[in-house]
Amino acid sequence: MALPAFLDPLVNAPKWQKALFGVIGLGAIGGAAYALLLSPLQVQVGALRAQRAQLERDITENRAIVAELARFRRLVSETEQKLATLREKLPTEKETPPLYRSVSDAASNAGLGVALFEPKEAKLRDYYNEIPIILRAEGGYHQLGDFFERVAALPRVVNVTEWKFGPSKDTKKPVAAELILATYTYRPVGSAPAPKAATPGAPAATAPVKK
């Protein structure tokens, strides 16, 4: 079959021109293949790589969130345990009168002469009520130390927040002490204020402590 007339120059051209035309043809075919096939594939590959990188970042962030959530749960559990322990050590409002009696008995059993034992109105805190207790007593330093040990051994929390010591007129009890103790009751956030503290049956005040 005869070739079209417009191809005669190419058929009759020297070999080097035919080779050049072949290279140009192959280049054109390669460029068309790249434009039609390879370029879209490269775009898809680039998009997939970007998605993979984003997924890897998301996985890393999610792992950090899971680790932080686990740490938060541990903190919540530890806080709940501490709160349970705190509730055990803090008396309820119904338990405060017996606690007052225990503190007053600790002073008497230590050999102190109690002149005043007066719980004051509770001070509201975030999670608890702080109840100050004014205690005036006379005795020796050894007896005061014994009283402090007895208070520290009580199952409920009682702290000595302030103290003043001075001479006493009683030679058998040379130290006059004025102490401010503090006990606490648990108070959930938003609960009503605690009622004014009631004074248990304790000796009435006889004379102020000398300053």
- Which has the closest alpha carbon to 112: 147, 62, 67? 147
**How much is the pLDDT for 156?**
82
**How much is the pLDDT for 99?**
84
For residues 48-70, average pLDDT: 84
Ranges 29-43, 90-104, 138-152, 175-189, most confident: 138-152
Residue 176, pLDDT > 90, answer yes
- What Å distances lie between residue 28 and 23, 35, 47, CA to CA? 9, 10, 27
Residue 197, pLDDT > 60, answer no
Q: Angle formed by the axes of helices 141-152 and 96-109, to 10°?
A: 150
SS3 content of the chain, % helix, strand, coil (to 5): 55, 20, 25
Residue 178, pLDDT > 80, answer yes
Contact 110, 146 (CB under 8 A): yes
Q: Give the whole-number percent of the chain exceeding pLDDT 90.
A: 19
For residues 67-85, average pLDDT: 79
pLDDT band, very low/low/confident/very high, at 65 (cuts 50, 70, 90): confident
DSSP 3-state assignment of 193? coil
Structure-token pair, residue 11? 């058929």
DSSP 3-state assignment of 194? coil
**4 or 98, which is more confident:** 98
| Chain segment 91-124, per-residue pLDDT in tens | 666 677 888 889 999 999 999 999 999 988 888 8
- Residue 126 DSSP symbol: S
**How much is the pLDDT for 47?**
80
Pairing of strands 158-167, 175-186: antiparallel
For residues 69-89, average pLDDT: 76
**61 or 90, which is more confident:** 61
The least confident of 73-82, 109-118, 159-168, 171-180 is 73-82
**How much is the pLDDT for 205?**
39
User: What is the rounded average pLDDT for all residues in the chain?
Assistant: 76
| Chain segment 115-164, per-residue pLDDT in tens | 999 988 888 877 778 889 999 999 998 999 999 999 999 888 888 999 99
- What Å distances lie between residue 155 and 10, 69, 95, 103, CA to CA? 112, 36, 12, 11
